[in-house]
Structure 1
Amino acid sequence: MMGDPAGVPTETATPTVPRVLTGSFAEGPSYVTWRSRGTTDWLVVHTTGGRGRFGAVDGRSLVVGRGDLVLLRPGVRHDYGTAAGADGWELQWAHVHPRPDWAPLLDWPEALPGVRHLHLAGEVHARVRESFARATALGQGGLAQAELFALNALETALLWAATQVPGTSTLDPRLISVLEDVGARLAEPLTVAGLARRAGLSPSRLTHLFSEQLGVPPMRFVERQRMQAARQLLELTSRPVAEVARAVGYDDPLYFSTRFRRHTGCSPTAHRARSTGALPSS
């Protein structure tokens, strides 16, 4: 974008965005975008490499690097490009008309007037990058309802990003893989040592993080998730109690029933009867 002799920047074309449009760029040092009136959609930009720059109407700038996520709301001037002195800028982007229920996902801190910003690291950065790439692949893949697939993938990226919004219950990125591991392996033997290895932490450090951020130590959290899964199986299936116990990691159905009663105040059989409106057999 060279601009005219008077120094007025040349307007960058504004894309047509029915609901969502995503993509990725790997740009050199001269890359610049200027839209004096912004766009009617929200623009999300995720930096995956190099450095970029966002300018604001008050003359200040925000320099971004790997893991930075920037959000420009509708009507905010688009003044961004490769940062001065950088060899290039690699970015994933999305123009989107969000659904109304996305409002909490877009409530990020404002770094500059009209420019919202989050920094992502570790597992969260990887998940956002993966979800952006999936949104682009689905949106360009020619599937029926491709736009809805892309919109859902972008929502996943924003959900991951929302775990890092300051002032909310920000989750340590090292816990994310552990929580997923627990959810996927409830039927298997789980130990603090094994979960700690998954997170790359010592057992004592993992226990501290669980207690600090989730309010319970690791194995109490595991049991809580197992009991939640057991309640669902009892309510939604007719599996015998012993089979439900095995499905959530208990080989001994009597011990499972004891733990279930401690968590819920009733036996597995009574819980099933209550959920179906039936009387438990005597």
Structure 2
Amino acid sequence: MIVTDADGVREGFAGQRMLVVPRAAVDQALRHPVAGKLLVTDAGYFPHAARHGRSRPRGAGQHLLLVCTDGEGWCRSEGADFTVSRGGVVLLPAERPHAYGASDEDPWTLWWCHFTGADAADLVRTAQAAAGGRVTHLRDPAPVASLLSQVIDALDSGPTLSALIRASGAAWHALAHVIATGRRNPGPALNPLERAVDHLRATAPRRTSVTALASMVGLSASQLSSLFREHLGVSPLQFQVQLRMARARELLDGTDLPIASVAREVGYDDPMYFSRQFSRTHGMTPTAYRERPAGT
């Protein structure tokens, strides 16, 4: 399958993710009282995007949010040129000429989305006012990258109204984070492991690949895996299983949900597979765990 962006330009970055909402679904969602406030029309993740670039002399039909989590790139907007490095956030209003691209020497890793809606322009203006311009630098880009990952995950479930509303909520949160932290005074930042763990806790039970997680925090997959094993004693994927199992225990202890429902709530479509994973972790089945004597 050939993947293209909103302008029909072919893409091809190993490990990329990219979602484009059908324009008929966009037109319908814009008439909805909630989705129409802020609607994501396109979103993606381009890791180490060598030779990536866009030039739009007439601008784009939607507003753009670009977040660089590794490497370097550049942006040109309204006659000014900007360097965009790790932590750089670019906000480009709709219908304004612009161009941007990856550095030849150290291509950026980019998380991005196009968005529109009744409140979109106000959010862009507010974010730019807080940042002091088109480009700002976040002390820690991982939270915004994590939210854009949630946007992509929502759109990946299909162009339903509920998926578009979930994507809108995550995008709104991402823009709010830019507004709130874009001019924060320098201070101690979370280390890559802490940022990765925060993302996994925020997005559980949804699974995040090690490659995508590493790109959010500016490390290679092998470097991040080594940090997890050194400090937490497990791999990133095993840590995600632990989060799922912790949530499963909460549901088994605090609700009367059937085991199959608990499995779905913690991200397992197959109740039998969930039961095997639970037994492997806790040494007993979910049913036995729920029936154990109080206080054990």
TM-score, normalised by the number of residues in structure 2: 0.46
The structure whose RCO (Cα within 8 Å, separation 6+) is larger is 2
Rg larger in structure: 1
